[in-house]
Amino acid sequence: MEQISVIGGGTMGNGIAHVFAQNGYKVNLIDIKQEVLDKALATISKNLDRMVAKEKITADQKDQTLANIHTHTSLISGVSNADLVVEAATENVEIKLDLFRQLDKLTPAGCVLASNTSSISITKIGSVTDRPDKVIGMHFMNPVPVMKLVEVIEGFKTDKKVTEEIVELSKKLGKVPALTQDYPGFIANRILMPMINEAIISLHEGVADVTEIDTIMKLGMAHPMGPLQLADFIGLDVCLAILNVLYDGLGNQKYAPSPLLINMVTSGDLGVKSGRGFYDYSHGTKELVVAPNFK
Ligand code: CAA
């Protein structure tokens, strides 16, 4: 696999493009909006600058990485020569199914179609294509250039050879692949989201406040971020969507999303991306300030 197409220039898509390009792969980065692509390239450039400043890569390696990335607003031109497509579009079933129907028609027959979905069924995505054996989950973690894990999700019809190829490719990216089967939330979110949900339920019940909950989990369990800060970082809408997938798919009350989480998402408090979640990000510094509703 040499030619990679990454669909979606958002946080995950630009991180995935960065990692492939830095490891010598030719990357076509595709988004319907040119401004998203411009922002993606600026973000990749900024993250590479940070690595140059820390002497993790040279200035030449930065230039080579950027030269490996080409941007496209047209799906056809961006995927026609792809050996692998990694889809990192919006986490919406209909959008993903529609994309995979198109990718099945537009990519070469041997091209592997991977999704970076955090919880949508790979088997369902594969079922709308004529190549479910070549459809697989390649779930990167945010921030992609930093996090070592790639959760590789084998759909019900995924060919074992394709799984092996993606496992080997993940290693070539300097990542550590871990294989899971295609059941709701896979492993990462099946375990992470109930923890985040329980933190929100505890906050709602008044067991402890925002700072205490995060401090207990950060210092007590050596987590880099507490669960409420992490929920803000992931996006509260994304957390809610994943919990609903777990609740619907596994049919167990223990996955029911906290009513507080539902209210926050409904009112537009989505975490870092909206400027407010459990913490307030409107002050523009790195300092963690608890949001006014939780003071
Ligand atoms: N891109 C590239 N590099 C970045 C970065 C980014 N967006 N953000 C931080 N970094 C780098 C920094 O340059 C720094 O590098 P060095 O170690 O070489 O100095 C390193 O990461 C640490 O960064 P900081 O010192 O600025 O900040 P920090 O120590 O607080 O770490 C963090 C930031 C890496 C995000 C850390 O807080 C962390 O690991 N948080 C938890 C992240 C996590 O759990 N991610 C998974 C979320 S779940 C998911 O993604 C999947 C899903 O389906 C929901």
Res 227: pLDDT: 98
Res 250: pLDDT: 97
pLDDT (average), residues 11-29: 98
- Distance from residue 103's CA to the centre of ligand 1 (Å): 31
Q: What is the 3-state secondary structure (H, E, C) of the chain?
A: CCEEEEECCCHHHHHHHHHHHHCCCEEEEECCCHHHHHHHHHHHHHHHHHHHHCCCCCHHHHHHHHHCEEEECCHHHHHCCCCEEEECCCCCHHHHHHHHHHHHHHCCCCCEEEECCCCCCHHHHHHCCCCHHHEEEEEECCCCCCCCEEEEEECCCCCHHHHHHHHHHHHHCCCEEEEEECCCCCCHHHHHHHHHHHHHHHHHHCCCCHHHHHHHHHHHHCCCCCHHHHHHHHCHHHHHHHHHHHHHHHCCHHHCCCHHHHHHHHCCCCEHHHCECCEECCCCCCCCEECHHHC
CATH assignment, 3-181: 3.40.50.720
Res 190: pLDDT: 98
For residue 105 and ligand 1, the question of a CB distance below 6 A is answered with no
Q: List pLDDT tens digits, range 142-184.
A: 999 999 999 999 999 999 999 999 999 999 999 999 999 999 9
pLDDT at 289 over 90: yes
In the chain, CATH 3.40.50.720 covers 3-181
Taking the CA of residue 11 as reference, the ligand 1 atom at the shortest distance is 7
Please confirm, yes or no, whether 204 is among the known catalytic residues. Answer: no
- Distance from residue 14's CA to the centre of ligand 1 (Å): 15
In the chain, CATH 1.10.1040.10 covers 189-294
Mean pLDDT of the chain: 97
Taking the CA of residue 192 as reference, the ligand 1 atom at the shortest distance is 48
For residue 234 and ligand 1, the question of a CB distance below 6 A is answered with yes
Q: List pLDDT tens digits, range 228-253.
A: 999 999 999 999 999 999 999 999 99
Task: Label residue 284 by pLDDT band (50, 70, 90).
Answer: confident
pTM over 0.85: yes
Return the residue whose CA atom lies nearest to atom 51 of ligand 1: 141
Q: For residue 62, how far is the Cα from the chain centroid?
A: 23
Return the residue whose CA atom lies nearest to atom 44 of ligand 1: 230
Res 56: pLDDT: 95
For residue 230 and ligand 1, the question of a CB distance below 6 A is answered with yes
Q: List pLDDT tens digits, range 72-119.
A: 999 999 999 999 999 999 989 999 999 999 999 999 999 999 999 999
What CATH superfamily is the domain 189-294?
N-(1-d-carboxylethyl)-l-norvaline Dehydrogenase; domain 2 (1.10.1040.10)
Res 120: pLDDT: 95
Please confirm, yes or no, whether 118 is among the known catalytic residues. Answer: yes
- Distance from residue 224's CA to the centre of ligand 1 (Å): 9
Return the residue whose CA atom lies nearest to atom 5 of ligand 1: 143
